[in-house]
């Protein structure tokens, strides 16, 4: 499963990329706003940090504006993936951009029916929002399972499932077990994937035993 960092924090992206832990980056207008920097400048810098897709979202809600914004975004770098809302206008824009060879990410998906339409429109990725469904008392990972089943029923559908709104290491594990093609999450969740209390306590024990020997690997 590909792992994407859901952030506009350049320092965090660089650290994760250098460690080989991420395959791409997703952003949205809210994340860019939090950075306090120029939208286009931040996207351009992120695109240099990673080789994989960088999702940059349009802000228009009508087809014509989406297409104009998409032209600006896709001109930034070859690895820009234009992010579009899962609306009829967004699906129409997705269809046009996909036909032109542009990578697309259809976001704010909350049903398998929506995911089916995104695939019909030729989306590169569809982003089901797991955490937001949990917030309203549903089981967000059930949506991933449903989309996986629908897509597997029809092998001609090439859209990748990009599990989004993941808030915990458990969310990530469930996404991987279900078979999501990719998952995007904040850097702190990526870091949490490496954590386990037994790992930490085991390391502390090793270090105590080593210190007792009075030796050093570095002479």
pLDDT tens per residue across span 103-160? 999 999 999 999 999 999 999 999 999 999 999 999 999 999 999 999 999 999 999 9
Share of the chain above pLDDT 90, in %: 95
- Whether residue 123 contacts residue 159, with contact meaning beta carbons closer than 8 Å, is answered with yes
User: Is the pLDDT assigned to residue 166 strictly greater than 90?
Assistant: yes
Nearest residue to 157 (alpha-carbon basis) of 125, 204, 205: 125
User: Is the pLDDT assigned to residue 30 strictly greater than 90?
Assistant: no
Separation of alpha carbons 7 and 149, rounded Å: 29
Active site residue 188: no
What is the predicted pLDDT for the residue at 36?
82
What is the predicted pLDDT for the residue at 219?
78
Q: What's the pTM value of the predicted model, to 2 decimals?
A: 0.95
Residue-wise DSSP of 5-65: EE---HHHHHHHHHTT--SEEE--HHHHHHHTS-HHHHHHHHHHH-SS-EEEE----SHHH
Tokens of 44: 């351009």
Residue 204, burial from CB neighbour count under 10 angstroms (0-12, 13-18, 19+) = exposed
Rounded to 5 degrees, φ, ψ at 15 are -65, -45
In the chain, the domains with their CATH numbers are: 2-213 (3.20.20.70)
What is the predicted pLDDT for the residue at 165?
97
User: Is the pLDDT assigned to residue 8 strictly greater than 90?
Assistant: yes
Separation of alpha carbons 124 and 105, rounded Å: 6
User: Is the pLDDT assigned to residue 57 strictly greater than 90?
Assistant: yes
What is the predicted pLDDT for the residue at 136?
98
Mean pLDDT of 173-202: 98
Mean pLDDT of 78-97: 98
What is the predicted pLDDT for the residue at 32?
86
Cα distances from 186 to residues 22, 24, 27, 83, 153, in angstroms, run: 11, 12, 10, 17, 31
User: Is the pLDDT assigned to residue 29 strictly greater than 90?
Assistant: no
- Whether residue 105 contacts residue 122, with contact meaning beta carbons closer than 8 Å, is answered with no
Separation of alpha carbons 57 and 212, rounded Å: 55
């Amino acid at each position: 499963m590909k792992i994407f960092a859901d952030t506009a924090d350049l320092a965090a992206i660089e650290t994760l990329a250098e460690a080989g832990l991420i395959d791409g980056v997703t952003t949205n207008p809210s994340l860019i706003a939090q950075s306090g920097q120029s939208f286009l400048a931040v996207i351009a810098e992120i695109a240099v940090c990673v080789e994989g897709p960088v999702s940059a979202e349009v802000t228009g809600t009508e087809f014509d504006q989406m297409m104009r914004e998409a032209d600006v975004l896709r001109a930034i770098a070859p690895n820009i993936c234009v992010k579009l809302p899962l609306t009829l206008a967004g699906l129409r824009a997705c269809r046009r951009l996909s036909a032109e060879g542009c990578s697309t990410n259809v976001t704010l998906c909350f049903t398998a029916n929506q995911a089916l339409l995104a695939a019909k429109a030729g989306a590169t990725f569809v982003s089901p929002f797991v955490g937001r469904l949990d917030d309203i008392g549903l089981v967000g990972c059930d949506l991933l399972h449903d989309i996986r089943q629908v897509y597997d029923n029809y092998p001609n559908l090439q859209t990748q499932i990009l599990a989004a709104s993941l808030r915990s290491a458990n969310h990530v594990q469930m996404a991987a077990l279900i078979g999501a093609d990719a998952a995007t999450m904040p850097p702190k969740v990526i870091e949490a994937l490496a954590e386990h209390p037994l790992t930490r306590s085991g390391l502390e024990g090793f270090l105590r035993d080593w210190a007792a020997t009075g030796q050093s690997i570095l002479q």
